[in-house]
Structure 1
Amino acid sequence: MIHLHLPEGLYSCFSDLSHSSEVLFETEKNIATAYEPKRLMEFCSGRYCAHLSLKKLGVDAPILKTEEGAPLWPKGITGSISHSTQTAGSIVASTDRIQSIGLDIETMGRISPDMWSILFTPNEINMLMHSKPAEIDFLSTLLFSMKESFYKMQFPISQHFMDFQDCEVTYSNEKCHIQPHVSLSAPLNNPAQYDIKFLRLETEIITYIILHRPDSSFRHDKPKHQVYNHPRKPYRHERQ
């Protein structure tokens, strides 16, 4: 059961990876003509979640792709799609309230120590090395997933291709903070504007970062979410 506590006006949906091209619009099917079966199932399951999320906003439209491969949302909509080895999901909102969203879903235990020097900054590695052994899989996956969510959140605004070490994640008291190490234009240059959240499941981590419009107040007193029970199924990681 997946339950995200989202500000008012944001909607999410999660599912397993069992969906076929029957859930796609014809224009979406054209994108996926060359996909092998496993990749097609991932794509269809992600679009299935995004379609259900959009319907909560009264929108029933295809989600195509940009030249960079990111979802091309209908006019007036921002959102993010992700999938892990087991789960697909999406978060969407109107651009009247939200500037950008980054969502990532990761299976824990896939970030081995030999990958740390590529993915993490010296400070992040130091934190991992001083963590309890039982928490290393969780923390390394959390750091990686936060970077993925941040990349997805910032790219539609900055069009900047960030490396993993271009931002640094700190974790303390069950909260994360992200500091970019590259110059980003407003509103991305103020980390205090990032609404950063994560959900720890038994074998997965879901991270999401929401960039609110400066003139929009956001409240967590009326969470909007969808809850799904689903079986566990295998897959591979993609940025969107």
Structure 2
Amino acid sequence: MHARSDSTLPAIAVDRALVSLAPPGVLTGCRRIQIEDERYLLPAERASIATREHKARAASGAGRRIAHDLLGRLGSADMAVSRGRLGNPIWPPGTIGSIAHDDEMAVAVAARTDAMRSVGVDVEPALPLPADLLPIVAAPQDRLGDLDPGMGGRVLFAVKEAVYKASFPLDGRVLGFEDIAVDFESGEAVTSSGLRLTVRFAISPRILALAYPAR
């Protein structure tokens, strides 16, 4: 038996947490971002990502590397996930998904369109949201339940990011934090356009959020 290196342990823990959040039919994956990960960008993806900042392109490459693996598992012949005009990933026909990253970890989720209409994911460090950001992220209609306000604020941020990523492919609306109401007690979020989504999250080892249309 070979012992896993310390560098792989966080990714394994994040992967397990993400799997626990995903509904049937949604595949998940994660990867610790490495400096050479830009190499995983396919030509169409490379052309669609405007930033020249190396760290950002490495993060995009890490996310696409996961996406390529998930698409292969879904049987897709097209692996490219280009970036749309508003920064949204454009998935191959017959598939949907979402990609996210923080400074250290990239995550992605994907499914076939006959299993899920849309899905959104986000990842954040397991740290409280800075106090000055909470009034921007939180809205009067949000219900944090028994979450600690500090850590709950970061969870709320991640969940609203995931909700936006899941809602945009459905109605094409650009939403602000104030356009999304989250109720952690019911496990649902509602957008200003009336979309209702199921939300799930984990706090350790990183904050992970997943959102998909409520059934």
TM-score range, shorter chain: 0.7 to 0.9
Confirm whether residue 17 of structure 1 aligns to residue 33 of structure 2.
yes
Return the alpha-carbon distance in structure 2 between the equivalents of residues 123 and 88 of structure 1: 30
CA RMSD of aligned residues (A): 2.2
Q: Post-superposition shift, 1:179?
A: 2.8
Match of 2:45 in 1: 28
Which aligned segments of 4 or more residues in structure 1 are displaced greater than 3 angstroms? none
Letter in 2 for 1:195: T
> Could you tell me whether the CA contact under 8 Å between 2:137 and 2:153 is conserved in 1?
no
Matched, 1:7 2:23: yes
Identity %: 25
- 1:156 paired residue among 140, 163, 169: 169
Trace 1:126-145 onto structure 2 (pairs within 5 A).
135-145=148-158
Superposition pairs for residues 17-96 of structure 1, below 5 Å? Answer: 17-18=33-34, 19-32=36-49, 34-59=51-76, 60-96=78-114
1:110 Cα shift?
5.5
State the Cα distance separating 1:24 from its structure 2 match: 2.1
- The alpha-carbon deviation at position 201 of structure 1 amounts to 1.3
Deviations 1:173-217 (A, max 9, x none): xx633133x233xxx2xx3xx332112213x211001227x6xxx
Secondary structure in 1 matching 2:117: strand
The offset of 1:76, in angstroms, is 0.6
Which letter maps to 1:16? R
Q: Which residue in 2 is equivalent to 1:209?
A: 211
Aligned amino acid, residue 65 of structure 1: R
* Unpaired segments ≥5 residues, structure 1: 215-240
Aligned to 2:193: 183
Taking structure 2 as the reference length, what is the TM-score of the superposition?
0.82
* CA 1:165–1:21: 2 relative to 1, 3 Å: same
Q: Secondary structure at the match of 1:207?
A: strand
Structure 2: gaps (5+ residues): 1-12
Separation in structure 1 between the aligned mates of residue 184 and residue 23 of structure 2, nearest angstrom: 22
- In the alignment of these two chains, the number of paired residues is 197
3-state SS of 2:80 partner: coil
**2:190 matched to 1:198?**
no
**TM-score normalised by length of structure 1:** 0.74
Counterparts of 1:162-181 in structure 2, within 5 Å, are: 162-172=175-185, 176-180=187-191
Higher relative contact order (CA 8 A, sep 6+): 1
TM-aligned CA distance change 1:114 to 1:21, over 3 Å = closer
